[in-house]
Structure 1
């Protein structure tokens, strides 16, 4: 990490450090560490930067540096100031490490192993200088002196035992969390039903004959509810975060004298686990014209761009007046010579009536598995009406059926879109863009016995246990545009395995031939509907910039469709939603240090499919989840902020970006994307316990915009997938 500029000396508060400590240079840019054990991994230590600790980042945020180090989930850690990190291992040893990540080294560079049986202490923490507090299992508080604390290698000597009956020790033992900033010990008590929690301050004194906490306590924060963790970068500032059931991990900051005021109620997101800062004796604000940086940053030069050769041209866009795709076997080989039927799906009624889908065309797969069906010149009236309600776009399902030499029936389906030549230009652009999202071949999968009967649907409580439902509750977008797992469950967190082994036979590589008698048209019935807020845009504004997201006038998004085979759900294409909207949504001029997704309410249907094969002798049922229209729930919001995506911004990400993707925005000027496709968000929505991806078409009504502030440093941006004036998908900010 580069030098973090110090500002003016802060005025000590009533709870600040001693006079000798306050005379030291005040610091900004305080490293802050989180022991994250929320994932399935063994545990990781994450490093954040508290850029403006004096104000509690009142107009900023805790910045994710991207630096991590493995830290076993059952280990405990605390900081000692000066870049020293103490770790108590599960076996009870106490070890010290030095954070050398600022100079390219390890965040946990070993310094000393003190050994011993430190497991006799229920909790340990440091003052940030030469004292360590340790609460013994018998209830007493033991105080240790640290020699040469800045090295992490000095002797640790017990100098005092405070009895368990001391009021401060009683409060420490009963506290939800405890930490220090210099000689001041803070105790956080979580709220309980009917009573708010609080944070109290206890000033410790080393006086030989005096009381260890001679002045009792001062209540510094009231109104605590779900907050379970607290920490201080130094005197005068406190942060809290909760282990709430919704997994938001949203941190609050407080500053001033008792009682402290809220400085920022959303100073950081995704903070899960124990938190400690590299405690400073005095805090400062950074220079207002210096951007935060972690490591070397490319210089602000305006050298002419080098010529870039794109070896592969952009693929030719799909003709929007036809449906096309490719079916393959489970092992990826072409599914050749099989009959394909394309049926319009938007004709399904909103009622519970069973509706037979309208066939738009049939064909046979080519030797390479590809197929094409043009839109009929004359569309049936039901399809015309559905298209008119969907901005001119026709959503359809292509299905292919066959059987193996062993007699196992196989079926493949894929959702896709088309638009007549007379449809609006925006509709045709949506269709072409959606085709790029759904360009992967579609697999044929076995028809198992579970499909021969209708299935009982899981309850809301059961779907709340699924991986998708749990991920939906996390405040930070960790998926980005990474592919979803191929098979999901709507009731458990575990991903589902290979469905191709049927009756002991692996069907994925077996040749599939046309089925005797074939299969007839599909009929559908809506069995449930629910409204879910779905990601349709995101904006980024680092430092002193501001961002605006417009999602106006009409839907312009594609959302994946999930199909259930037995107990497994998988994505099989997407539908495009282009229906008219009656409201305007989005956010304007958010920032600085702001990056969030925007979500709009979309109604999703759970649909039961029914079809017969073998001259009507075999009837099968299958279920799918499909988006339908923008719909505001009664008394609900027209749009909502989505997940935090600020970990995509900043100096590290800018330094790692391709040079040809970079650009900058002059002071006080703005830039926006208003054409081409957004990125595809893998976690756009969780509906019925299943995660679905989605993307949006940029146009005059759907834009991502950034406005640069007037500070001196340059405002840099870069496209994720391309140059910012090409097809970036989304642009980030530094």
Structure 2
């Protein structure tokens, strides 16, 4: 056994050394043309419904002779329903389907991928004339061999090889003529046809079946196809755990992909697993423009299109991160409330509560301490200065929360038809420490973006006498949160739907103001009596691993996440009128002690990972009581504290984020946010806040976003390697190094 693989045969085909594709000398370019160091690889991804188009995307398999890397060229083309694409070798692609005007299922076209030079991914070369007996759409398996000839299984299971012809010497006369046919009864063909994946590389055809790759020697000439030497083929490798599909970029190199898109790489002599994390989330069918041999990329930096050159306009990283002292002066929280129709909620009473003093058990009901009240102005705006002297229990909560004071601002109204409407906004304040007269760095960081929220009043419709049960595990598996959790990260600030269901798909057109068939959006709203109050009861708790950091390290670099000593996070708070449909209502910040929490050590190159820690969340029932009698209710989901589940780790890897690095993303980045590291140089981002990761946590079927405040204990690091004297470029999501970068990306 080698790397978990049983090797019974080795592939032919030497892996020789030569410069990379696109190298700058004529000699290198000629060598690269015959033995490339970068292989175009294509993925066809369905768009969710058989009636919709699929998408063809181009990737680049960089340096497949080594551990290598697969990066997206960020080039794509739409495919109409029923269209199929396969490689013709190099930059050539074949497509079956509608070519030009009118639909003809028998039509086959030849295309060139010109995206590397700024052209189309599918640039039409010519269309092959439809011939009697050729129904390309009906051919069950289709690919091209090393000579660019089209190979397929027809409806009867026969194997056919087609060659391109131009009878009158013009592209208008292009046609595919059958060179030879192997009957379906051929013993070797019977075995090959059982394969779940079939592809050609060099003089062999490969098939994947039951986590085993077999090969058959293959040749085709006029009226002759041979497969052998034995009917059963030669076993190349077994024990390919989870392999659902497979392909090769060249002889001697294999990739396998699981159903969830995890890709492993096998190569060498003897054949061995050389990269068990080559790619993740690669959904759809994959095929490569396979070459007959490979060259080494050596120290060449990956690129797409033009060879990268140093940009003298990009500054190097500054000597050190800049910090500023925490501000002083009165602490004010503010926001804005709107009526259901979007007009200002003027003249509404606003009560501000300290929201962290929840009971330790699930039975107690508490009336959270008020910090003051105010009234909205004509534009619905409100503001409140936090008292200089806080109640003792509130001051204790602030001290235990890293100096941050979480507050909930609530206004309550009543519609003409008697529906209770509540506006609730969750905010964080940074009060001065009574002993030192200063604010903590964490508290001031999380409050930098506070204030100015516009919150619409929403119905409070839950039954005040009963508790809505939590969704079942099966129900949670069908939610938006579950779907987002399975996808690789792309835009960190991806906007969640306005409403999420915690037990099914999210309603796209939910109208929270449609009550018993009547839309109350335009009804007049008046303030509720101030003799009533909201109380809080924790009805359930759940520990969810929550994203708190992200590290990026591209070519010749390593990165890590440091997250230790204390929590330093701001996380969405969920609101639900009935306990099943949820929206976001502000955020809460937690800075409590979490001794022992850490990130991960240096990893790279081509590694970008999120890091998660376990945080406990409270599901809270808020009940409106008048004279002690429960009248109306709604629910919240609120972060609480760091808590390790029994027998579970103190931290865990989150999503893969490699697709956010590399030359294409760098080229599309804001030039003002770019910088570079010299060989062996390092940088740490430790000021400001991270990006707000969408889907940072899944809590009871609801997706919540979160961010981390950077400081000496919570930071992202990157370290350049020393392969060459070239600069290692980095850039920030929202600023250059030395400012509030959000996250460091790597190229």
Fold in common (TM above 0.5): yes
Residues 72, 351 of structure 1: alpha-carbon distance in 2 compared, 3 angstrom cutoff: farther
Q: How many angstroms apart in 1 are the aligned matches of 2:276 and 2:468?
A: 45
Q: How many angstroms apart in 2 are the aligned matches of 1:24 and 1:432?
A: 54
Q: How many angstroms apart in 1 are the aligned matches of 2:593 and 2:78?
A: 49
Contact 1:533 1:602 in 2 (8 A): yes
Residues 298, 260 of structure 1: alpha-carbon distance in 2 compared, 3 angstrom cutoff: closer
Residues 454, 630 of structure 1: alpha-carbon distance in 2 compared, 3 angstrom cutoff: closer
2:251 — aligned with what?
235
1:96 — aligned with what?
110
1:204 — aligned with what?
218
Residues 578, 318 of structure 1: alpha-carbon distance in 2 compared, 3 angstrom cutoff: same
Q: Bigger shift: 95-104 or 389-398?
A: 389-398
Residues 147, 598 of structure 1: alpha-carbon distance in 2 compared, 3 angstrom cutoff: farther
Q: 2:402 aligns with which of 374, 388, 391?
A: 391
Correspondence 1:275 to 2:292: no
Q: How many angstroms apart in 2 are the aligned matches of 1:381 and 1:110?
A: 75
> 1:408: Cα distance to partner?
3.6
1:367 — aligned with what?
378
Q: How many angstroms apart in 2 are the aligned matches of 1:432 and 1:705?
A: 20
> 1:616: Cα distance to partner?
6.0
1:183 — aligned with what?
203
Q: For residues 263-412 of structure 1, what are the structure 2 equivalents within 5 Å?
A: 263-288=274-299, 290-296=300-306, 299-303=309-313, 321-356=331-366, 357-412=368-423
Report the 3-state secondary structure (helix = DSSP H, G, I; strand = E; otherwise coil) of the residue aligned with 2:390. coil
Contact 2:431 2:439 in 1 (8 A): no
Residues 152, 284 of structure 1: alpha-carbon distance in 2 compared, 3 angstrom cutoff: farther
**Structure 1 residues 382-402: Cα deviation after superposition (integer angstroms, max 9, x where no partner):** 433433332232222211111
Correspondence 1:611 to 2:624: yes
What is the total number of aligned residue pairs between the two structures?
694
Report the 3-state secondary structure (helix = DSSP H, G, I; strand = E; otherwise coil) of the residue aligned with 2:119. coil
1:705 — aligned with what?
717
Contact 1:438 1:573 in 2 (8 A): no
1:672 — aligned with what?
684
Correspondence 1:70 to 2:51: no
Report the 3-state secondary structure (helix = DSSP H, G, I; strand = E; otherwise coil) of the residue aligned with 2:228. coil
Residues 594, 183 of structure 1: alpha-carbon distance in 2 compared, 3 angstrom cutoff: same
1:79 — aligned with what?
87
**Structure 1 residues 319-356: Cα deviation after superposition (integer angstroms, max 9, x where no partner):** 78443222122343321110111222222123112221
Residues 254, 438 of structure 1: alpha-carbon distance in 2 compared, 3 angstrom cutoff: farther
> 1:168: Cα distance to partner?
3.2
2:746 — aligned with what?
733
> 1:553: Cα distance to partner?
0.9
Q: How many angstroms apart in 2 are the aligned matches of 1:276 and 1:284?
A: 20
TM-score normalised per structure 2:
0.86
Specify every segment of 5 or more residues in structure 1 that has no aligned partner in the other structure, as ranges. Answer: 1-11, 191-196, 306-313
Residues 69, 618 of structure 1: alpha-carbon distance in 2 compared, 3 angstrom cutoff: same
2:656 — aligned with what?
644
Report the 3-state secondary structure (helix = DSSP H, G, I; strand = E; otherwise coil) of the residue aligned with 2:449. helix
Q: 2:234 aligns with which of 218, 224, 228?
A: 218
Q: Bigger shift: 176-185 or 371-380?
A: 371-380
Q: How many angstroms apart in 1 are the aligned matches of 2:329 and 2:81?
A: 53
Contact 2:266 2:275 in 1 (8 A): yes
> 1:304: Cα distance to partner?
8.3
2:3 — aligned with what?
none
1:430 — aligned with what?
443
Q: For residues 286-685 of structure 1, what are the structure 2 equivalents within 5 Å?
A: 286-288=297-299, 290-296=300-306, 299-303=309-313, 321-356=331-366, 357-422=368-433, 427=440, 429-434=442-447, 436=449, 439-448=452-461, 454-474=467-487, 476-496=488-508, 497-515=510-528, 517-518=529-530, 520-566=532-578, 567-612=580-625, 619-685=631-697
Correspondence 1:250 to 2:268: no
Residues 532, 391 of structure 1: alpha-carbon distance in 2 compared, 3 angstrom cutoff: same
Contact 1:453 1:620 in 2 (8 A): no
Report the 3-state secondary structure (helix = DSSP H, G, I; strand = E; otherwise coil) of the residue aligned with 2:65. helix
Q: How many angstroms apart in 2 are the aligned matches of 1:255 and 1:582?
A: 43
Q: Bigger shift: 296-305 or 662-671?
A: 296-305
Q: Bigger shift: 262-271 or 352-361?
A: 352-361
Residues 519, 719 of structure 1: alpha-carbon distance in 2 compared, 3 angstrom cutoff: farther
Q: Bigger shift: 526-535 or 572-581?
A: 526-535
Report the 3-state secondary structure (helix = DSSP H, G, I; strand = E; otherwise coil) of the residue aligned with 2:481. helix
Report the 3-state secondary structure (helix = DSSP H, G, I; strand = E; otherwise coil) of the residue aligned with 1:53. coil
Contact 1:395 1:417 in 2 (8 A): yes
Q: 2:175 aligns with which of 155, 159, 168?
A: 155
Q: 1:32 aligns with which of 32, 41, 45?
A: 41
Report the 3-state secondary structure (helix = DSSP H, G, I; strand = E; otherwise coil) of the residue aligned with 2:34. coil
Q: How many angstroms apart in 2 are the aligned matches of 1:599 and 1:679?
A: 14
> 1:317: Cα distance to partner?
8.3
> 1:164: Cα distance to partner?
2.7
Contact 2:420 2:459 in 1 (8 A): yes
Q: How many angstroms apart in 1 are the aligned matches of 2:362 and 2:289?
A: 60
> 1:172: Cα distance to partner?
3.0
Q: How many angstroms apart in 1 are the aligned matches of 2:357 and 2:742?
A: 32
> 1:550: Cα distance to partner?
0.6
Residues 658, 478 of structure 1: alpha-carbon distance in 2 compared, 3 angstrom cutoff: closer
1:193 — aligned with what?
none
Report the 3-state secondary structure (helix = DSSP H, G, I; strand = E; otherwise coil) of the residue aligned with 1:292. coil
Q: CA-atom RMSD, angstroms?
A: 3.1
Report the 3-state secondary structure (helix = DSSP H, G, I; strand = E; otherwise coil) of the residue aligned with 1:585. coil
Q: How many angstroms apart in 1 are the aligned matches of 2:96 and 2:330?
A: 62
Report the 3-state secondary structure (helix = DSSP H, G, I; strand = E; otherwise coil) of the residue aligned with 2:193. helix
Q: How many angstroms apart in 2 are the aligned matches of 1:373 and 1:572?
A: 19
Q: How many angstroms apart in 2 are the aligned matches of 1:164 and 1:581?
A: 66
2:69 — aligned with what?
61
Q: How many angstroms apart in 2 are the aligned matches of 1:111 and 1:154?
A: 10
Residues 708, 39 of structure 1: alpha-carbon distance in 2 compared, 3 angstrom cutoff: farther
Q: 1:127 aligns with which of 145, 158, 172?
A: 145
Q: How many angstroms apart in 1 are the aligned matches of 2:32 and 2:603?
A: 38
Report the 3-state secondary structure (helix = DSSP H, G, I; strand = E; otherwise coil) of the residue aligned with 2:490. coil
> 1:552: Cα distance to partner?
1.1
Q: How many angstroms apart in 1 are the aligned matches of 2:464 and 2:446?
A: 33
2:13 — aligned with what?
16
Residues 573, 297 of structure 1: alpha-carbon distance in 2 compared, 3 angstrom cutoff: farther
Report the 3-state secondary structure (helix = DSSP H, G, I; strand = E; otherwise coil) of the residue aligned with 1:169. helix
Residues 96, 688 of structure 1: alpha-carbon distance in 2 compared, 3 angstrom cutoff: farther
Residues 462, 265 of structure 1: alpha-carbon distance in 2 compared, 3 angstrom cutoff: same
**Structure 1 residues 633-682: Cα deviation after superposition (integer angstroms, max 9, x where no partner):** 22212211111222222222222222221111111111111111111112
Q: How many angstroms apart in 2 are the aligned matches of 1:119 and 1:152?
A: 21
> 1:205: Cα distance to partner?
2.2
> 1:204: Cα distance to partner?
0.9
Q: How many angstroms apart in 2 are the aligned matches of 1:600 and 1:692?
A: 14
Contact 1:469 1:686 in 2 (8 A): yes
> 1:297: Cα distance to partner?
6.8
1:3 — aligned with what?
none
